[in-house]
Amino acid sequence: MTKNILLNLGIIICKILYFSYAVIFAAFLVFFVHHQVKPSAYANIDVAIVTGTSQMFFARTKTYKDQIGDKVLEDSEVFVLNKLKKSSLYFNFVKFSLLVFLMFLVVREFQKIIESVKEVRTFQKRNIKSFRKIGRYLLGIFALVSYSSYIFEEGGTSSFCISLELLIFVLIAFIMSEIFEEGSKLWENSKLTI
Amino acid sequence: MAIIVNLDVMMAKRKMSLSELSNEVGITMANLSILKNNKAKAVRFSTLDAICRVLDCQPSDLLEFEK
């Protein structure tokens, strides 16, 4: 199967994804450092869109804003990046870093599986472990994506949402590991048939 | 497994080595070793046929059921 175009394409896509994740992480690291050095550079960047959870199966968002006398502050005055609290910035940086790391691990395991299929070692035990690992990593991603919180100086927003698509992917990964386990048993039996 | 392969006994009776049997039957030494050491999960009729032909024996000479 060394000339299988689809498998080769899959490996190339995995490599592109590695690179993309590295670039995304680097960009976020630059933002993280720059935000602390020069927060005023982010004065006009409205982050209200970050709380958008329209694609989620279940979503609950809680937003609050400080009041100055009778005047309620506008979203554009509260939810701006330069007013993001340090603790919230650190929290989101750690969360985002973990998210990118887990996505990187998922792609790495997936690449291992594709490579083993290419080498006609599809039903080896390592692939069962890889699918289980993918399932666990996706569960981690699901947990990280489920909760988000942005605390600003004059307000904040937190949301809890359940992504059904991610849960389905988790389920698929675990089912695939079971299928591969069955395949591995059959392969071992056929290997030991003389 | 309760089925025991007595290949080593038959080979000893016929004074035949594993490599000789391998050459005559056309099965790799590795596979014959699996069979000899009772590690095999299944045996094809074609394999049994070839071994019986070379060792001039019956399948019952090679296979034994142990309770």
Residue range B11-57, pLDDT digits in tens: 999 888 888 899 998 889 999 999 998 888 899 999 999 999 999 99
Nearest-Cα distance to chain A for B35, in Å, is 7
Q: Which residues pair with A68 in a beta bridge?
A: A71
Establish whether this prediction's ipTM goes over 0.85.
Answer: no
Location of structure tokens 């699901």: A142
pLDDT above 60 (res A51): no
A 41-60 near B (Cβ less than 8 A)? none
Cα separations in angstroms, A128 against A13, A94, A124, A131: 22, 30, 7, 5
Confidence of residue A191 (pLDDT cuts 50, 70, 90): confident
d(CA A10, CA A135): 19
Confidence of residue A43 (pLDDT cuts 50, 70, 90): confident
Residue B5 or A156, more confident = B5
pTM: 0.77
Q: Provide the pLDDT for residue A46.
A: 73
A 171-190 near B (Cβ less than 8 A)? 188-189
- Strands A67-68 and A58-65, sheet pairing: unpaired
Q: Provide the pLDDT for residue A1.
A: 57
Using CB atoms, which residue from A188, A189, A194 is nearest to B43?
Answer: A194
Inter-chain Cβ pairs, chain A and chain B, closer than 8 A: 23
Contact assignment for B35 to A194 by CB distance below 8 Å: yes
Q: Provide the pLDDT for residue A55.
A: 59
Q: Which residues of B touch A189 (CB under 8 A)?
A: 41-42
Of residues A29, A26, A13, A9, the one with CA closest to residue A106: A13
Q: Provide the pLDDT for residue A4.
A: 85
Q: Provide the pLDDT for residue A2.
A: 57
pLDDT in tens, A61-79: 787 777 776 777 676 667 7
d(CA A173, CA B60): 47
